[in-house]
């Protein structure tokens, strides 16, 4: 490949990326029983969709055609058509589904049911229940390894990350972390699993092959009580260089250098920040702030909060069209 | 029939006794799902100018302290409170920054104190509930023992089951109230943050 040609190709790509792409974000509002639709061009709420009771976990299907939202008090997962922005179907979960994770292909959905200590496995194409995994403890955070072989389930009662083999559907390892583990996230290269502990105030870094804690991220914010630092959501850039950790009532997002596992910056967002999502171009990171009822927009490169958008009451989860 | 009700009540009690979330070992009496933050730190709610030089001076300013009481009262709707902040700051031209600092210092101190009171109350009720649960468990055992005796003293069984039903009802009512009151510290956080945000916006 000639050099000029390559340069030409690169600048062509840069040009194509230059116009600001508008993306669509969906936010579940736990208390108002709605989903807010945000346009990332105008940064405004363009629609509010009435959904079932207590919407929390929310995610786009991989093809970007549908948004799935767990409505815990209605014991189901509702499916929103992204084109018409209205509910078109529902998926068979167990009682009180809180959140879910899907495999890389978007074919299998694993649903954490808060009330009966099970994870429901759903075939997304057929929209049918394939079976249940007995996890024995109340499932809380959930994620899947990039190769789809391992399902991770964190439990508030055992303070562990449980590794579940997706083929045998059996727990194969348990790793003790700090108090009240809430969220788990793999590095994209699958070399590390990060687990946040809300009461422990830390993020444990686990070697997913050896099932060992190999490091911890700790947080310290001048002038802030330790109890206010409650890590929950974690977002990692695709190059695995930078992680963002939501710190709950510290009202901040910590920017963490993944290699050194050190916090480089704290960004003041809204109140009780829990979950987040990147725009597909990774230019922006949107966070849900449950107590101030808003979404903060972070410019990822500048590491700055550039906007606040009011949504419904108690915003919980967020997903952005791929 | 009554005995069955009591058994069911005790079962329900056992269920409510187990917290849905792992308890925070630092605060064994804390009854809420929301992890306890004993007081709001200034850094969590204020990114405006330093308040060191105003401290408690807000109390000496009659206008500010009257406004603080009004804005801190839960009966004042939040949007009305926000409007009052804007009006107050719009009306203070040259000393706007000082007034803003005084007002926020007052709100911070007052709302934090209000919040601490609620939290102390919650932990007190939580301790009371634990004692009540112990008592109910003891009396259930006593009742079961009474039921096993032949001949059975029906009057005594009846009296003790009535007593147990009553205690269980109080326990459950209190349990519901606690869940409701657990929202109060959060709504105070919300008010303080929202008012702080308006004050800071007015300064920009």
Tell whether B35 is covered by a domain: no
Structural domain harbouring B171 = 2-14+54-203
Which band of pLDDT confidence, cut at 50, 70 and 90, is reported for residue B21? low
pLDDT for residue B118: 96
Give the gap in angstroms from C-alpha A27 to the nearest C-alpha of chain B.
Answer: 20
For B197, which residue in chain A has the nearest alpha carbon? Answer: A270
Using CA of residue A286, residue A287, residue A293, residue A294, what is the dihedral sign?
negative
pLDDT at A149 over 80: yes
Q: Note the pLDDT of residue A16.
A: 43
Note whether residue B85 is domain-resident.
yes
d(CA A287, CA A251): 11
CA B47 – CA B202 distance, rounded (Å): 13
CB contact under 8 A, A268 and B47: yes
What is the overall mean pLDDT for chain A? Answer: 92
Q: Is B25 domain-assigned? A: no
Number of domains in chain B: 1
Residues of B in contact with A270 (CB under 8 A): 193
**pLDDT of B114 higher than 50:** yes
Whether B22 is in a domain gets the answer: no
Taking an 8 Å cut-off on Cβ atoms, the answer to whether B190 and A157 are in contact is no
In a domain, B38, yes or no: no
pLDDT at A114 over 70: yes
Residue B122 lies in a domain: yes
Q: Which of B45, B30, B91 is nearest to B64 (CA)?
A: B91
Residue B31 forms part of a structural domain: no
3-state secondary structure chain B: CHHHHHHHHHHHHHHHHCCCCCCCCCCCCCCCCCCCCCCCCHHHHCCCCCCCCCCCHHHHCHHHHHHHHHHHCCCCCHHHHHHHHHHHHHCCCCCHHHHHHHHHHHHHHHHHHHHHHHHHHHHHHHHHHHHHHHHHHHHHHHHHHHHHCCCCCHHHHHHHHHHHHHHHHHHHHHHHHHHHHCHHHHHHHHHHHHHHHHHHHHHC
Interface test with A, best of B21, B33, B45 (most A CBs within 10 A): B21
Chain B interface disruption, residue of A30, A182, A199, A308, most B CBs within 10 A: A199
Residues of B in contact with A220 (CB under 8 A): none
* Contact flag A227-B43 (C-beta cutoff 8 Å): no
More confident residue, B13 or A131: A131
Judged by a CB distance cut-off of 8 A, whether residue B80 touches chain A is no
**A155-159, A248-252, B91-95: which range is least confident on average?**
B91-95
| A127-144: pLDDT as tens digits | 999 999 888 777 889 999
Contact: A251, B22; criterion CB under 8 Å: no
Preferred mutation among B34, B35, B48 to probe A, highest tally of A CBs within 10 A: B35
Beta carbons within 10 angstroms of residue B162's beta carbon: 12
> What is the tens place of the pLDDT at every residue in B61-97?
999 999 999 999 999 999 999 999 999 999 887 789 9
B8 found inside a domain: yes
Q: How many CB atoms lie within 10 A of CB A246?
A: 27
Beta strand A24-29 with A315-320 is: antiparallel
Provide the ipTM. Answer: 0.72
- Are B41 and A271 within 8 A, CB to CB? no
List pLDDT tens digits, range A85-103. Answer: 999 999 998 899 999 999 9
Looking at the predicted structure, is the pLDDT value of residue B156 above 60?
yes
């Amino acid at each position: 490949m000639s050099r000029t040609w390559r340069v030409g190709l690169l600048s062509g790509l840069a040009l194509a990326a230059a116009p600001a792409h508008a993306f669509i974000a969906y936010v579940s509002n736990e208390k108002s029983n709605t989903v807010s639709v945000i346009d990332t061009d105008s940064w405004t709420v363009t629609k509010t969709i009435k959904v079932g009771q207590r919407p929390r976990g929310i995610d786009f299907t991989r093809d970007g055609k549908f948004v799935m939202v767990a409505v815990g008090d209605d014991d189901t997962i509702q499916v929103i058509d992204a084109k018409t922005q209205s509910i078109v179907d529902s998926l068979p979960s167990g009682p009180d589904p809180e959140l879910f994770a899907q495999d890389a292909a978007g074919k299998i959905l694993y649903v954490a049911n808060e009330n009966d200590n099970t994870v429901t496995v759903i075939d997304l194409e057929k929209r049918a229940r394939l079976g249940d995994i007995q996890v024995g403890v109340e499932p809380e955070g959930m994620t899947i390894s990039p190769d789809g072989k391992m399902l991770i389930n964190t439990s508030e009662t055992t303070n562990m990350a449980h590794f579940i083999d997706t083929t045998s559907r059996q727990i194969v390892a348990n790793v003790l972390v700090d108090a009240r583990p809430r969220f788990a996230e793999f590095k994209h290269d699958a070399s590390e699993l990060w687990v946040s502990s809300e009461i422990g105030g830390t993020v444990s870094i686990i070697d997913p092959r050896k099932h060992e804690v190999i490091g911890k991220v700790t947080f310290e914010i001048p002038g802030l009580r330790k109890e206010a630092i409650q890590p929950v959501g974690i977002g990692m850039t695709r190059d695995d260089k930078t992680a963002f950790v939501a710190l709950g009532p510290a009202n901040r997002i910590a920017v963490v250098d993944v290699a050194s596992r050190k916090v480089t910056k704290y960004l003041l967002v809204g109140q009780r920040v829990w979950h987040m999502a990147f725009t597909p171009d990774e230019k922006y990171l949107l966070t849900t702030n449950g107590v101030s009822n808003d979404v903060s927009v972070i410019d990822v490169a500048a590491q700055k909060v550039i906007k606040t958008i009011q949504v419904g009451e108690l915003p919980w989860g967020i997903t952005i069209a791929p | 029939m009554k005995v069955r009700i009591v058994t069911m009540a005790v079962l329900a009690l056992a269920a409510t006794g187990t917290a849905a979330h792992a308890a925070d070992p630092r605060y064994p009496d804390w009854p809420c799902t929301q992890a306890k933050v004993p007081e709001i730190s200034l850094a969590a709610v204020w990114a405006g100018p330093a308040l060191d030089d105003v401290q408690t001076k807000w109390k000496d300013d009659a206008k500010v302290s009257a406004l603080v009481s009004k804005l801190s009262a839960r009966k004042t709707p939040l949007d009305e409170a926000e409007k009052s902040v804007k009006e107050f700051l719009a009306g203070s031209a040259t000393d706007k920054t000082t007034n803003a600092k005084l007002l926020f210092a007052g709100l911070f101190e007052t709302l934090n104190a209000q919040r601490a009171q609620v939290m102390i109350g919650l932990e007190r009720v939580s301790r009371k509930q634990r004692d009540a649960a112990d008592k109910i468990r003891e009396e259930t055992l006593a009742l079961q023992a009474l039921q096993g005796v032949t001949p059975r003293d029906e009057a005594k069984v009846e009296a003790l089951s009535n007593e147990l039903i009553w205690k269980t009802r109080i326990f459950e009512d209190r349990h519901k109230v606690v869940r409701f009151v657990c929202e109060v510290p959060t709504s105070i956080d919300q008010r303080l943050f929202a008012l702080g945000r308006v004050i800071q916006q007015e300064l920009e």
